[in-house]
Amino acid sequence: MKCIQARYSRRGPNPHEVIEAVEVELDAPGPGEVLVEVLASPINPSDLLTLSGVYGILPDLPATAGNEGVGRVAALGEGASSLRVDQTVLLPLGCGTWSSHLVARADELVALPDGADPRQLAMLTINPPTASLLLSEIVDLKAGDWVIQNAANSAVGTYLVALAAERGIHTVNVVRREGAVAAVKAAGADTVLIDSDDLAERVRGATGGQPVRLAIDAVGGAATERLAASLGDGGTIVNYGVMSGQPCQVSPTHLIFRGLTLTGFWLATWYARASMEQRASLYGDLTRRIARGELTVPVAETFDVADIKQAVAAAALGERNGKVLITPKHA
């Protein structure tokens, strides 16, 4: 059957210029395989970095883009009896999810609850576990502790606000523009501040002088230094993103005289080290919460996979509130 895939054969600084919507002939599912109609797949910052050639893992070229998503089982190959037609499934990580259809092994697909919003489930694999683990794996946080994060209007930031509130952890949420404040407050943030050179002083006012134990940095560059200045002595900065495209900047005085620690987090590293039980526990809990509507993030725009250039260009813009999703049209 014919399908549309978002493919690229080169990498470059402008991701929308290297990606193309291509019609390809897809083989029927073989033994143990299923044909899946892709319902939704997000465009994450890591996808843009992959297209630019600066991510930690780069697939061989040419490649089909898209790292996560959900689909509906359309046909079963011989012996693929663990699934049923029309079942909603979580797609394997890194399988090229910016496609109208794909063929996957049945044992690599995870059945998802019926009736849940596929757009929210499509974002399950990367951002919610990242937010959860940033709160649990870096510092031993207790109820009443303060955490500060930048890029608070991002998907990770939105999940983190909700998960921190559930655990009784207070959040200072930093954004770069006034237009992002309302959405972060609506997510349940304790306080939202616009990033600026006097951030540390305003953070102390927001926390009533209580020390901030953990700073979560998705930006890098000078933004990391502003988070460092906002931490209490002995605090930790964890960087998980490079939205600025610049190396993290932290004055040695923070590290030497105030005992701050700068570290990094990458979900792929945690996943490789975690046991099957730890993975199942984390993803099972998050799946249930997302399916029940307890964890959600705004969706800014949706695009058909045929419009992948426009979709990637929209995802690269900073002036939006919510995620850009690929939601393929099916005849």
Q: For 246-300, how does the pLDDT look when each residue is reduced to its tens digit (9 = 90+)?
A: 999 999 999 999 999 999 999 999 999 999 999 999 999 999 999 999 999 999 9
Q: With 90 as the cut, is the pLDDT of residue 319 above it?
A: no
- pLDDT surpasses 90 at 114: no
Residue 155: give its domain's CATH number: 3.40.50.720
CA-angle at 254, arms to 251 and 255, nearest 5°: 95
Query: Are 201 and 106 in a shared domain?
Result: no
Residue 130: its pLDDT value, please? 97
Q: Does a structural domain hold residue 95?
A: yes
Structural domain boundaries enclosing 64: 2-123+298-326
What are residue 75's phi and psi, to 5 degrees?
A: -160, 150
Q: Packing angle between helix 222-230 and helix 199-207, nearest 10 degrees?
A: 30
Same domain, 264 and 141: yes
In a domain, 287, yes or no: no
What pLDDT was estimated at residue 198? 96
| For range 120-145, the mean pLDDT | 97
Q: Which of 213, 305, 207 is nearest to 6 (CA)?
A: 305
* Candidate from 18-27, 107-116, 259-268 with smallest mean pLDDT: 107-116
Distance (Å, whole) CA 138 – CA 216: 10
Average of per-residue pLDDT across 7-28: 96
Count of domains in the chain?
Answer: 2
- Identify whether residues 13 and 76 lie together within a single domain: yes
Q: How confident is the model at residue 331 (pLDDT cuts 50, 70, 90)?
A: low
223: three-class secondary structure by DSSP: helix
Q: Do 256 and 306 belong together in one domain?
A: no
Query: For residue range 196-240, what is the model confidence (pLDDT) as tens digits?
Result: 999 999 999 999 999 999 999 999 999 999 999 999 999 999 999
pLDDT at 11: 97
Residue 141 and residue 255 in one domain: yes
Mark whether 109 and 190 lie in a shared domain. no
Residue 318 has pLDDT above 80, yes or no: no
Which residue stretches of the chain are H helix?
Answer: 15-18, 45-52, 118-121, 127-136, 155-166, 181-186, 199-207, 222-230, 252-257, 267-273, 276-291, 308-316
Quick one: 133 and 117 in the same domain? no
* pLDDT tens-digit readout, 289-304: 999 999 999 999 999 9
Q: What φ, ψ does residue 188 adopt, rounded to 5°?
A: 110, 20
| 279 inside domain | no
| Bridge partners, residue 21, by sequence | 6
Where residue 117 sits, what CATH number does that domain have? 3.90.180.10
Whether residue 256 lies inside any domain: the answer is: yes
CA atoms within 13 A on the CB side of 199: 27
> Is residue 192 a part of any domain in this protein?
yes
* pTM, rounded to two decimals: 0.92
Supply the pLDDT for residue 323: 94
Q: Within this chain, do residues 173 and 209 fall inside the same structural domain, yes or no?
A: yes
3-state secondary structure of 326: strand
Amino acid at 145: D
Give the number of other Cβ atoms within 10 Å of residue 276's Cβ. 7
Domain presence at residue 191? yes
**DSSP assigned state of 59:** P
Same domain membership, residue 144 and residue 264: yes
Q: Is the pLDDT of residue 194 over 90?
A: yes
Same domain, 141 and 117: no
* Within-domain flag for 246: yes
Q: What φ, ψ does residue 2 adopt, rounded to 5°?
A: -90, 140
Do 92 and 201 lie in a common domain?
no
The amino acid sitting at 202 is R
Find, among 84, 134, 86, the residue nearest to 267 by Cα: 134
pLDDT computed for residue 320 by the predictor? 77
**Percent of the chain residues past pLDDT 90, beyond the cut:** 90
**Whole-number pLDDT of residue 321:** 80
DSSP for 230-273, written as a single string: HSPTT-EEEE---TTSS-----HHHHHHS--EEEE--HHHHHHH
Give the catalytic positions in this structure. Answer: 55
Residue 292 lies in a domain: no
- The verdict on 78 and 17 lying in the same domain is yes
Mean pLDDT score of the chain, rounded to an integer?
A: 95
Q: 59-104 pLDDT, tens per residue?
A: 999 999 999 999 999 999 999 988 999 999 999 999 999 999 999 9
